[in-house]
Structure 1
Amino acid sequence: MPRKGMRSIFFKPSSSSPSTSSSSQPPPSPLHTFSDSMMEQNIHTAESLITEWDDSKLATPLFSGTRQEAKNYLHAVKGLQSAMHYFVKQDSSSATLVRAQFLMQLAMKTLQREFYQILSSNRDYLDSETVSARSSIDFRSSVSDYDDEITASEDDFRISETERVSMLAMEDLKAIADCMTSSGYGKECVKVYIIMRKSIVDEALYHLGVEKLTLARVQKLDWEVLELKIKKWLNAVKVAVGTLFPGERILCDHVFSSNPAKRIAESCFAEITKDGAVSLFAFPEFVAKWKKTPEKMFRTLDLYEAISDRLSQIESIFSSESTSVIRSQAITSLVRLGEAVRAMLVDFESAIQKDSSKTTIPGGGVHPLTRYVMNYLTFLADYSGVLIDIIPDLPQSPMPESYYRSPMRGENTPASELSEKIAWLILVVLCKLDGKAEFYKNVALSYLFLANNMQYVVEKVRRSNLGFLLGEEWLAKHELKVSEYASNYERVGWSKVFASLPENPASQVTAEQAKTCFVKFDAAFHETCRKQSSWVVSDPKLRDEIKGSIVSKLSQKYSEFHEKNRVGLKSIRVISPEDIGKNLSNILCGNGSVDSGSFSSHSSSTTSSSHRSNRR
């Protein structure tokens, strides 16, 4: 103990001279107790360290190198605080107490400066990713009572240098926050913390592309510009909810963990993140209120899915009352996005119903309306997880149950409701196609048109998530419709050719009758092949099946007649049974202009939806 300190305990002034008049003597001082001496020693020790760091070492941070000096300083401040509590009970206006209060103010000034210095110089080590990565570490196992540096054991190679510095900075901040809060200077500490960390969070969000937009500004944006902002937002929310906000929450909770009720940590976290988080989660609501068209559906679903998938995490991060406005904004955006999706589905159905184009597709190929609707529904099926949450609130149009009802109808589940909605939309477009088939003057071509479009629908369903939603029963029913349309085309389209031959090709006919039949068959066959060379069956498998069926039936009947009546046909040239298949190879291949024309929104829908494959 320093000499001065020893004197303060053991030295006592000499008694007054006996000759001194008792009337002139000061009143006897109260007994100087051991506790008095200990508290005075606390003040003296604190004064030595506090004045030294206030004056002589300003260029050197207190919390640098080994932590022994920092530990001694914090211990001295704690002793000073104990002395202040002690003397305030003795005499709240004593010079000793005034002196202690002055020293405490100097100490808090120093600690506030150190607090700022640690936050400022360790920005790169206190980033959210590093803090989040070490959240599972028990700091007590890595920090030995704040005496030593944080060290990794020989067999613990998980702690990198960056993580070590990060953990040490967090411990320094916690130690200072504990000291300042317990000394009654929590507001000063919190103020510095909020200013520093809020600037870091706001800067991080800015670099992620998060802007403080207004509804009016968003509504004035072109869709191309807005879509770019949506793409940035989707990445931003992934980072913000995944690491930025959790890391900030962990840091706040650790630095201010000495507050049992966590009020300080919650308050700090709210002030630091509120502005940025509200701006982040308000953007989807603004998009939801943008002009609603079916082509905007998929980006709207991207936003809905991004919030929905992270809602439980958002509610966990912002669980306190002070951050309720953030939770509320996220939920509001989710609700508005759901409403927008439902409105766009209604508009989508309405657009199909209102399509009144009477232009026929050359060759009876797949109609652009069919392509547009089925491509749209295929993309839509990729969002079945979130659509299940949205569809139940969608008004359902009356429809024939036997046609659209899902096999799961007895379960009355959201998944079955989605399946039924998809089935209904397909039914709507198929009904429109039935009407468009009537625009063809050739009945056979009408059936071929229906077969082509139904086959396209079936293949789109089978090769996408639509197949899972609609099920095998639906597919089997519609595959049967394809076969029916193909059979009707074959029956009507080749009726003249089949009718040119006797009903019983093996029956006995005269040579003149045979000659007439061969001439009629040859003319009808070549005329039909010529006409149908401009017709088209888009699906190669279906085309081969149709041709195979025609060849099989026609060759069998013609071969029998040819075999029975070919004698005496030298005067005319007839087609041989073997050449029938060769001639049929040229039909149903189209002329290259089969799928010209477009549905009003096809191109924009395809463009806006193509992001799905690479958006994650």
Structure 2
Amino acid sequence: MADFASPIATYDCEQHVFAAAQHIVKALGASKNLNDDVRRLLADLDTHLSTMTIITETESRGTRELEEQLKFAQQKIMSLESNRAMIWASGHEVASEYLQAVYEIHRLSESLRSLLSNRSGKQKELLEQAHIVLQIAMERLEEELILILARNKQSFEPENMSFRSCEDDVVYEESIASNEDDLIEDTPQRDSSSTEPEERIIDLVHPEVISYIKSIADVMFASRYDQEFCHAFINFWKDELDEYFAVLRCDKLSIEDLLKMEWRCLNRKIKKWIRAMKFIIRVCLASEKRLFGQVLGEFGSVCSTCFVEATKGAMLCLLNFGEAMAISPLRPEKLLSLLDMYEVLADLLPDIDSLFSEDVGSFVRTEFHELLMRLGGTARATFMEFGNAVASNTSTNPFPGGGIHHLTKYVMNYIHPIFEYASTLNLLLGVQVGEEMVEPIGTVDWQNISLKSSCPVARHLRWLTSNLESSLDNKSRLYKDGSLKHIFMMNNIHYMVRKVQGSELAIFFGDEWIRDYTGKFQQHATSYERVTWNPVLCLLRDDGNLGKSILRERYRGFQAAFEEVYRNQAGWFIPDLELRKDLRISTSQKVIPAYRAFSAKSFPVIGDKYIKYSADDLEDHILNLFEGSSMSLHSTRKR
């Protein structure tokens, strides 16, 4: 760069003009032919020229001093401009001298600006030169800022975080469809990330360089290049947040893309979103807020504005994902994921209110609060829709073998993890349509007995199982055999009781519900025995003195009836071992004693020729029932 243009020639020219003017005035004043008015005019002119000469001499001396100072500061700045090595890599002393030179250029610019007047432009050249040097210095400092941030940022890897990858998570969820064969027992489970330890604020850049960064900010702000600093600082951290998304394996997808996504893929992304929300807000944003405060805290609202500008893109991306879930179609398999999302937002609410507490960030707070309410409403509607879907589930064919229906398994396994969401669901189910959503509540005190039977979760779960029972009753009507209808209802209601009894769900359903439904499946067992075996046992009734032929017919009729029952029911299935055992024993206790008594009375009359099965044979056959596979009848009696 060329040296500064010297103002000395201009100054000498002005001095010659003033000297010539004064010489002429003095010569005119020496004339004796002048009147008093002309003499006074020449005297005033001489005084004015003398004053201008003094001012010019003073300004000239000041301009010379400014010129020398400007040259000295310029030399310091330009000496490093040719050397492209980082200024801060050259040592603290070099960096301090450079900043002092920049401050000096700025001070000289202000001084030259104050000297500059409309009547004279001799300081203008120096001022323009100072602006050029200052511009060069600002561009260099902006480059230094980006390099310092890039070379000193603290990186992290997923394995060093408490958040595990969920690429291999296997999810088994299906919706309740008209074809119950599509229903499966496995249901969504609570996201394990909710129990992971909280992260903390970290150093996003090496602590030693923060003072350097702040020094650059101070000098650029002082030189009125604050916008350039903020632009560079904001863009750097915007890009870093994008990198954090990549490390967390979170894709930035539009709402439209998310709504089109297949559920299993979307559910994996929900798990990633939950982890990303906690890490981005509690680690990345909290750490950025601290760093922005350390660097820009002295500049008032500029600090908050820059922080919001740097982070709003990431926040809106995360909120858009939540919005997609909030407006997506209601499907039962989404409930626990919706509750997980709602809970993580509720948990992060204080963090968001703190991070974006100023007016400039109010729109982020507002969007966050509104999303929380919308997700809560969607979760509540999903749970209610699930209950309605259970009630309206229909079948066209009877369920084979009278076993536990897929719908029963799905519903009972579906509601099993709800205990872990009790606080959230009590809040959401307690909110009536049209009411304003209240703040999330804390953990429910389950020692409070009044909550066991009256809380919203308990009422809705009982409503749900009532819908299930009604749906099962409709399905049982598809059986032509009345006995199988009772086996089917006994199996399914017993399964419901077993899932509730001994688990946390018992708190919601209460002892009364357990006693009621236990009585129901027991009643179906009793009804099965009555419908199946009473007609058979009637053939063994004692009508008094019976003749030989009648006794033979009674034996033949009983044996045929028993064989028919066995052929029909051998393929029926009672999955629960204890329930199967209890019904076998109860049936055996009704049939075998009656058969023994009849045999004891009739044997002396008809002998053993017509007796096909012994009491032990019949007992063995009864104790083989309900295995789900047919077995042939056999007799141990010797012919």
Asked if Structure 1 and Structure 2 have the same fold, meaning a TM-score greater than 0.5 normalized by the shorter chain, the answer is yes
Could you tell me whether the CA contact under 8 Å between 1:39 and 1:82 is conserved in 2? no
Cα deviation for residue 237 of structure 1 reads 2.8
User: Contact 1:177–1:256 at 8 Å: present in 2 too?
Assistant: yes
Measure, in 2, the Cα distance between the counterparts of 1:584 and 1:498: 14
Identity %: 26
Give per-residue Cα distances to partners, 1:540-568, cap 9 Å, x unaligned: 22111111222234334444554566446
Figure out how many residues of one structure are paired with residues of the other and give that number. 523
- The superposition leaves residues 62-93 of structure 1 with CA deviations (integer Å, 9 ceiling, x where unpaired) of 111432222333345556667777x5898566
Residue equivalent to 1:440:
479
Which residue of 184, 189, 199 corresponds with 2:224? 184
Q: Which among 50, 54, 71 is matched to residue 96 of structure 2?
A: 71
Residue 355 of structure 1 aligns with an amino acid whose one-letter code is N
Residue 106 (structure 1) aligned to one of 133, 140, 143: 133
- Displacement, 1:539? 1.8
Aligned 1:267-278 pairs, distance under 5 A: 267-278=305-316
Q: Does the CA contact (< 8 Å) of 2:154 and 2:204 recur in 1?
A: no
Aligned to 2:440: none
Query: SS state of the match for residue 537, structure 1?
Result: coil
Which whole-Å CA distance do the structure 1 matches of 2:254 and 2:210 have between them?
A: 34
Q: Tell me if the contact between 2:573 and 2:627 (Cα under 8 Å) persists in the aligned partners.
A: yes
Tell me what 2:290 maps to: 250
For 2:523 and 2:517, the matched residues in 1 are separated by 10
Q: TM-score, normalised by structure 1?
A: 0.71
* Matched ranges for 1:200-279 at <5 A: 200-205=240-245, 208-211=249-252, 213-215=254-256, 218-219=258-259, 226=266, 229-230=269-270, 232-259=272-299, 261=300, 263-279=301-317
Post-superposition CA distance 1:501-524 (Å, at most 9, x none)? 3479xx998877766655444343
TM-score, normalised by the number of residues in structure 2: 0.69
The alpha-carbon distance between structure 1 residues 168 and 41, as it changes in their structure 2 partners (threshold 3 A), is: farther
Q: Secondary structure at the match of 1:500?
A: helix
Of residues 453-462 and 481-490 in structure 1, the stretch that sits farther from structure 2 once superposed is: 453-462
Q: Is the 8 A contact 1:529 1:586 kept in 2?
A: no
Q: Confirm or deny: 8 A CA contact 2:399 2:405 kept in the other structure.
A: yes
What do the CA deviations read for 1:188-210 (whole angstroms, capped 9, x no partner)? 21122123222332354366434
CA distance in structure 2 between the partners assigned to 1:424 and 1:524 by the alignment? 42
**Distance in 1 of aligned mates of 2:57 and 2:504:** 91
1:579 maps onto 2:617 in alignment: yes
| CA–CA separation in structure 2 for the residues paired with 1:214 and 1:427 | 37
Question: What is the CA–CA distance in structure 1 between the aligned matches of 2:289 and 2:128, rounded to whole Å?
Answer: 34
The 8 Å contact of residues 50 and 103 in structure 1, kept in 2 or not, is answered as no
Structure 1 residues 413 and 371: CA distance shift in structure 2, 3 A: closer
1:431 aligns with 2:470: yes
Per-residue deviation at 1:99?
5.1
SS in structure 1 of the partner of residue 305 of structure 2: helix
| CA contact 2:245–2:251 (8 Å) conserved in 1 | yes
Report the Cα distance in structure 2 between the residues aligned to 1:37 and 1:562, rounded to whole angstroms: 138
Letter in 2 for 1:443: G
**Which amino acid counterpart does residue 96 of structure 2 have in structure 1?**
K
Q: State yes or no: 1:340 paired with 2:365.
A: no
From 552, 561, 567, the counterpart of 1:530: 567
Q: Could you tell me whether the CA contact under 8 Å between 1:178 and 1:258 is conserved in 2?
A: no
Structure 2: state its 5+ residue gaps: 1-21, 27-45, 161-201, 435-445, 631-639
Contact kept? 1:128, 1:247, Cα under 8 Å:
no
1:474 paired residue number? 513
Distance 1:289 1:196 in 2: 33
Deviation, 1:428, is 1.1
1:503-518 correspondence runs (5 A): 518=555
Q: Distance in 2 between matches of 1:497 and 1:414?
A: 45
Moved more, 372-381 or 319-328: 372-381
Relative to structure 1, is the Cα distance of residues 39 and 338 closer, same or farther in structure 2, using a 3 angstrom cutoff?
A: same
Preserved contact between residue 125 and residue 163 of structure 1 (Cα < 8 Å): no
Flag the 1:239–1:105 CA change in 2: closer, same or farther, 3 A.
Answer: farther
Q: Which runs of 5+ in 1 are unaligned?
A: 1-19, 134-161, 397-406, 593-616
* Structure 2 residue 92 is the aligned partner of structure 1 residue 53: no
Give yes or no for contact 1:370–1:453 (8 Å, CA) kept in 2. Answer: yes
- CA deviation after TM superposition for structure 1 residue 411, in Å: 4.5
Q: Deviations over 1:161-208 (max 9, x none)?
A: x97971123231112112322443322211221232223323543664
Preserved CA contact (<8 Å) 2:112 2:126: no
Q: Distance in 1 between matches of 2:125 and 2:343?
A: 62
Q: Deviations over 1:433-453 (max 9, x none)?
A: 223333333322221111011
Match of 1:540 in 2: 577
Aligned to 1:172: 212
Q: Distance in 2 between matches of 1:503 and 1:95?
A: 139
Provide the C-alpha distance between the structure 2 equivalents of 1:512 and 1:193, rounded to a whole number of angstroms: 108
The structure-2 alpha-carbon separation of the partners of 1:113 and 1:463, relative to structure 1 and needing over 3 Å to count, comes to farther
* Structure 1 counterpart of 2:219, one-letter code: C
Aligned partners of 1:448 and 1:486 also within 8 Å? yes
CA distance in 2, matches of 1:230, 1:489: 48
